Amino acid sequence: MSKLNLVNHSEEYDTEYDDDEGADIESQASYSTKIFNRLTGSYESVMGPFNKVLRQNDPDRINVKKVQAGNMHLLSAKYESLDYDVCENTLLIDEERTKGFRFIQRKDLYRWVIMIFIGVITALIACAIDITIEEISSIKYSTLKTEVDECILQGCLIVPFFLWIAWNVVPVLIGSFLVAYIEPVAAGSGIPQVKCYLNGVKVPRIVRIKTLIVKVLGVTTSVIGGLAVGKEGPMIHSGAVVAAGISQGKTTSLRKDFNTFKYFREDHEKRDFVSGGAAAGVAAAFGAPVGGVLFSLEEGASFWNQSLTWRIFFGSMISTFTLNVILSAYHGRPGELTYAGLLNFGKFDNTSYDFIEIPVFLLMGMIGGLLGALFNHINLKLTIFRMRHIYRKWAKVLEAIIVAACTATVGFSMILFINDCKPLGEDPTRYPIQMYCGDGQYSAIGAIWFQTPEASVRSLFHDPPGSHRLTSILIFFCLYFCLSIWTYGLSVSSGLFIPALLTGAAWGRVVGMGMEHFFSEASWVDPGKYALIGAAAQLGGIVRMTLSLTVILIEATGNLTLGLPLMITLMVAKWVGDYFNEGIYDTHIQLMGVPLLPWEPPPLSHNIYATEVMSCPVVTFHMKETVGTIIDVLTSESYNGFPVVDPPNPSDYEDGQVNFGTFRGLILRSQLIVLLQHKLFIETSESWDHKGVALKYFRDAYPRYPTIQQVHISDEERHFTVDLQPIMNPAPYTALNNASMPRIFRLFRGLGLRHLVIVNDNNKVVGIVTRKDLARYRLEKHMGKMRLEELTILDR
Ligand code: ATP
């Protein structure tokens, strides 16, 4: 029997829901059958300690009727893994031998050249987004200001109100339409998806050019539409797409192959560039090249080496430099280089702090953690509601429009009902509106709303003491907090950093006012500084990043003195938040059912062994296999990797059920498909593997391989034979059947594996482990106790 504490999930499957497409996930547990065996208590072994795997056509296969969307205990089988292990097959070794050291040097040079391109293009995209938003927003807010100023005298305030709604709704309508109807994967910031990619999960369509176009247009319209969003998060995704595109020298979407950089057409090379692209995105967004490198490191790249780090840093530097040059010129100060990132925190005058303040920073970290946990909890519930009820495209667009209209209504109501007047000139606001204030005064609330959220964050950081009233800031905080929860997860491209920073800056400013009140004489009291710490606490409490976020914020403020307070705050915010729930990105990743492997193996898993985790019997191939057999296996099974074994001896049969064969290598479904597609059969093309053409076939087909159904094989060809030896990976990683789960996990995580073959003492294949076999173990609280649970893998 399994040594696991098995948890009965069966109650979850009872609920039936309406039949609408997308609402439910209908599941047929084809290859997660081990789990279902256990659930029903029919856990039996075909041989000694090994698990039984039920195949799709088995009569005792358990059909799980309908599973409700938004279930956190599921892994989706639609997410395949990336293969970060280099397939050192004969073809590759031949290529390296014939081309020599100069080829390796040239490849290395190209890597640097590509990094330059990635940095420059990511920065150009960031500049295009920024300048478009600046220009259109200035038309929007100046028009609104003129209308408000005129109508306040003529009593026609309804006109600017509806005008504001129109200015919000129209861009958001365009953006959400693009996302809902053209490319849904462009929704949100894209950070969870990039995180998955770096972790080794292939999220469909994530690095396509169409996704990039929709993302760029989407985020521009969302910010212009006044939603509680920022443009920084999507820059990370954009950088990743740019990197994936440039490094491959082709675009499959536009069917254009530039015939360059062909050697980089494999998962692990592409992954390295994507980490560089994500880092360049962070660098462009926050002017934080070091933060960018650390982001890629923290968020996934477990496979890291010194030269890659250096290259990524170079790309990030290029990105921030390019952005700086262009934006400085745009703002009329060419050569000054004062715009290192899209988000500019501005210079803090007073960054000194006293020991007395450290407990205050700790307290603020706790508040940030609590508020972050609350944000994530409500957003989780809302996201589940959306998955179950707002899944139709038109409904998603409608919801985005409603949120846009509500944002304008909230802003307008605050300006109308909160009488917070300040003398003109104290605050460098671009569109001051007078509303009901006296001559020479302007509405402080109007100033916050009549600008982009980035500008509002800057105002809260730098407005002189006394610029805001306690009540107005508190009301603003409550409303903006709710709006940002509602907005995250809408069908629009949007970043979370800015709304989190803005809400945090608002309550941080309130803390600052309190400190001003109690320590009015102290020189170190500055409400702007507390706004910064509050912003960091809020953001840290929501996203739970520590290392990279601290460095990003230090770089964005351009000041090292506040490094310690920022670090303390972020750490405490993470600890407090983690006590209640997961970070927002991880929560959304779980909702998507992505088999993400965390940094460490799940606790309490040392007593789980390979034999319990693996699948068996394993579907294998022989070195020389007939075409018909390959076609039949690929059609009937959905697996992507197959061990290659010697034909077993009669003595290898035990109980007549399991065929053990000596392990010889591993072959992927994609490799088999390319072999069949180009008809590289022993009978028809004798020396195909010596001409170097086969590698070209594989590289040309990467990354979108045809399906087995798209490969046409005649009846005669079914009897031909294929030699798998030159193609297969002859020395993939393996583990012994008595290896513990943490050991297997570390191997998988550290090397970015896709398949791990389990062998016995005689090097015979007894099982296979994939990412999903490991990702489905999760530590969960059950009746007040932490225990290891097994998730279910769904067909889709
Ligand atoms: P991926 O989807 O990660 O690219 P894959 O499609 O080969 O890899 P999974 O979808 O992760 O495999 O596999 C689902 C289940 O099938 C897992 O429990 C795994 O152990 C099992 N499995 C994978 N390959 C084989 C195989 N060749 N023979 C038998 N079982 C397998």
Q: Is the CB of 343 under 6 A from ligand 1?
A: no
DSSP codes joined into one string, 236-289: HHHHHHHHHHHHHTEETTTTEE----GGG-SHHHHHHHHHHHHHHHHHHHHS-H
What value of ipTM does the predicted structure carry?
0.98
Over the chain, what is the mean pLDDT?
Answer: 84
| The pLDDT of residue 661 | 80
Local confidence band at 109 (pLDDT 50, 70, 90 cut-offs): very high
- What is the C-alpha separation between 683 and 95, in angstroms, rounded? 24
Q: If one looks up domain 610-772 in CATH, what number appears? A: 3.10.580.10
Tell me the average pLDDT across 689-693: 57
CB of 195 sitting under 6 A from ligand 1: no
Ligand 1 contacts CB of residue 792 (under 6 A) = no
For residue 654, the model assigns a pLDDT of: 53
Average pLDDT over residues 678-700: 74
Is the CB of 237 inside a 6 Å radius of any atom of ligand 1? no
Secondary structure string (H, E, C) spanning 673-734? HHHHHCCCCCCCCCCHHHCCHHHHHHHHHCCCCCCHHHCCCCCCHHHCEEECCCCCECCCCE
Give the pLDDT band of residue 249 (cuts 50, 70, 90).
Answer: confident
Residue 239 corresponds to which tokens in the numbers above?
A: 């950088």
Q: Is the CB of 642 within 6 Å of ligand 1?
A: yes
Q: What is the DSSP string of 12-80?
A: GG-------TTTEEE---SS-HHHHHHHTT----SBTTBPP---TT-TTPPPP-EEETT-TTEEETT-E
Residue of 617, 645, 620 whose CA lies nearest to 630: 620
Pull the structure tokens for residue 16: 């039936």
Q: What is the pLDDT of residues 533-557, one digit of tens each?
A: 999 999 999 999 888 888 998 888 8
> How would you class 773 by CB atoms within 10 Å of its CB: exposed for 0-12, middle for 13-18, buried for 19 or more?
buried
Ligand 1 pocket, mutate which of 639, 724, 773, 794 (most atoms under 8 A from CB): 639
357 CB within 6 A, ligand 1: no
Number of the ligand 1 atom closest to the C-alpha atom of 617: 29
Tell me, in angstroms, the distance from the centre of ligand 1 to residue 374's CA. Answer: 37
603's tokens:
């606790």
Give pLDDT, residue 153. 81
Q: Is 778 left (phi over 0), alpha (psi -120 to 50) or beta?
A: beta
At residue 569, what are phi and psi to the nearest 5 degrees? Answer: -60, -45
Least confident stretch, 318-332, 420-434, 601-615, 683-697: 683-697
Closest ligand 1 atom to 77 CA: 10
For residues 453 and 505, give the distance between their C-alpha atoms in angstroms, rounded to a whole number. 11
Q: What is the mean pLDDT of residues 455-483?
A: 89
**Which has more confidence, 667 or 21?**
667
Atom of ligand 1 nearest to the CA of 79: 2
Percent of the chain, pLDDT > 70? 88
Alpha-carbon span 501 to 494, nearest angstrom? 14
Point out the ligand 1 atom lying closest to the alpha carbon of residue 620: 27
CA 27 to chain centroid, in Å, comes to 25
Q: How far apart are CA 522 and CA 542, in angstroms?
A: 32
User: What separation in Å is there between the alpha carbon of 639 and the centre of ligand 1?
Assistant: 5
- The stretch 275-279 carries a mean pLDDT of 94
Check the CA dihedral 439-440-444-446 and report its sign. Answer: positive
Q: For strand 721-723 and strand 624-626, is the pairing parallel, antiparallel, or unpaired?
A: antiparallel
Q: What is the mean pLDDT of residues 558-579?
A: 92
- The CATH fold assigned to 357-592 is Clc chloride channel (1.10.3080)
Q: Kind of pairing, strands 777-782 and 24-26?
A: unpaired
Helix (H, G, I), strand (E, B) or coil at 208: coil
Dihedral sign for Cα atoms in the order 589, 310, 127, 211: negative
Q: Domain spanning 107-330: which superfamily?
A: Clc chloride channel (1.10.3080.10)
Q: Residue 355: pLDDT above 90?
A: no
**Token pair recorded at residue 40:** 């029903």
Contact 379, 485 (CB under 8 A): yes
Which atom belonging to ligand 1 lies closest to the Cα atom of 640?
7
Q: Predicted confidence band at 700 (pLDDT cuts at 50, 70, 90)?
A: confident
What pLDDT was estimated at residue 28? Answer: 32
Residue 679 Cα to ligand 1 midpoint, Å, equals: 26
Query: Ligand 1 centroid to 489 CA: how many Å?
Result: 31
pLDDT at 300: 61
The two three-digit tokens of residue 660, written as one number = 């053990």
107-330 and 357-592: identical CATH topology: yes
What is the distance in A from the centroid of ligand 1 to the CA of 81?
Answer: 10
Give the distance (Å) from ligand 1 centre to CA of residue 34.
Answer: 12
* CB-neighbour burial class of residue 279 (10 A; exposed 0-12, middle 13-18, buried 19+): buried
Is the pLDDT confidence value at 13 over 60? Answer: no
Higher pLDDT, 573 or 422: 573
From 36, 38, 56, 615, give the residue whose CB has the most ligand 1 atoms within 8 Å, as the site to mutate: 615
81 lines ligand 1 (CB under 6 A): yes
Picking from 169, 187, 174, the residue whose alpha carbon sits closest to that of residue 227 is 169
- Give SS3 for 624: strand
What are the sequence ranges of the domains in the chain?
1-79+776-796, 107-330, 357-592, 610-772
Contact 294, 547 (CB under 8 A): yes
